[in-house]
């Protein structure tokens, strides 16, 4: 890393280990000038990943650390991806790629532009930044990214509420509804005695941050009279952010993926119907939703409701 940062410490207070990849060269078409977009130029990227390598060292198992060959390909692909004006934007994109692995606590990225269109004699231009995993919750994506929202309702006109919620999400700036699952009916899980739920999953592409999309979900709940008076209690509408572009991150107000999604058949069944290739990312890697559903003890309690039709708003 050309511009050094202070060490990153783990939960125990000890400095984390580092995996470094330096001098990675890839051709991109980034820049504010038309000839940069047309002709392209070479960019050089350095990354430092901060993580605990002790589990890998103790087991000699590559699956317990970052595969630097795969990392190199992913970073090069990020450079070769769609053009942006600023290398600041490109560096942030590379940092997001580096933080896809949930073992990485923080990533330092330097993007060099040695062929920058400068009329003076110079050696290099670079932007260096550090991103921590929890910062990704506030990162605004470019381009829009996929996300998964789970809807549930057991009060009032449930069918009308689901339809209205899908329309409200679609009407939100920065949210494009791409698919809506079939509706299912399920028994309530936990909490006091209450009516059965109607559930559905909505697939979207969004230019909002993860926290921005969560705020949207809460706003749609509020529009439909949601009151948080009792944990696990009945509700007019529940909108959960289940997955956000495979991001694995946690903060006091938001954890991704949703911490209970892997065991909730009322989420997995409609999600699989909307996307048969769906995958849930977590600390241990990724698991196909189909396999998670096969292990779910309450999968037989999910009842199809083909009479309730939801559509992608036009």
As annotated, the active-site residues are 113
Distance, CA of 113 to CA of 79 (rounded, Å)? 12
d(CA 98, CA 247): 11
Closest CA to 197 of 243, 242, 149, 233: 233
DSSP class of residue 262 equals: G
Q: What is the DSSP letter of 223?
A: H
CA distance 128 to 46: 9
Angle at 134 between CA 133 and CA 139, to 5 degrees: 90
User: Cα(291)–Cα(101) distance, rounded to whole angstroms?
Assistant: 21
Rounded to whole angstroms, the Cα distance separating 219 from 201 reads 17
Per the CB < 8 A criterion, the answer to whether 265 and 293 are in contact is: yes
DSSP H helices in 154-203: 158-170
213, 154 contact by CB (below 8 A): no
Q: Are 272 and 293 in contact (CB under 8 A)?
A: yes
DSSP states of 55-79: HHHHHT-GGGS--HHHHHHHHHHHH
**Whole-Å CA distances, 1 to 20, 109, 192, 226, 232:** 8, 7, 56, 49, 48
């Amino acid at each position: 890393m050309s511009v050094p940062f202070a060490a990153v410490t783990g939960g125990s207070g000890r400095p984390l280990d580092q995996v470094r990849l330096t001098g990675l060269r890839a051709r991109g078409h980034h820049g504010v000038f038309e000839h940069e977009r047309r002709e392209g130029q070479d960019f050089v990227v350095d990354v430092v990943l901060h993580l605990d390598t002790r589990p890998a060292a103790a087991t000699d198992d590559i699956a317990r650390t970052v595969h630097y060959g795969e990392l190199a390909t992913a970073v090069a692909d990020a450079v070769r991806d769609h053009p942006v004006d600023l290398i600041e934007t490109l560096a942030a994109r590379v940092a997001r790629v580096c933080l896809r692995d949930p073992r990485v606590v923080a990533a330092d990225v330097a993007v060099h532009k040695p062929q920058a269109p400068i009329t003076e004699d110079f050696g290099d231009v670079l932007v260096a930044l550090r991103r921590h995993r929890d910062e990704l919750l506030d990162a605004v994506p470019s381009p829009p990214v996929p996300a998964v929202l789970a809807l549930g309702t057991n009060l009032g006109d449930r069918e009308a509420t689901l339809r209205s919620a899908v329309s409200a999400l679609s009407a939100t700036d920065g949210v494009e509804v791409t698919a809506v699952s079939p509706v299912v009916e399920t028994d309530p899980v936990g909490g006091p005695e209450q009516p059965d739920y109607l559930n559905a999953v909505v697939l979207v592409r969004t230019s909002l941050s993860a926290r921005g999309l969560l705020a949207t979900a809460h706003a749609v709940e509020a529009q439909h009279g949601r009151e948080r008076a009792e944990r696990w209690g009945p509700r007019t509408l529940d909108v959960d952010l289940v997955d956000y572009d495979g991001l694995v991150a946690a903060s006091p107000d938001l954890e991704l993926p949703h911490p209970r999604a892997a065991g909730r058949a009322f989420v997995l069944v409609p999600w699989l119907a909307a996307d048969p290739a769906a995958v849930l990312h977590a600390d241990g890697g990724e698991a196909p939703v189909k396999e998670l559903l096969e292990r779910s003890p309450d999968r037989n309690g999910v009842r199809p409701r083909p009479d309730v039709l939801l559509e992608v708003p036009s």
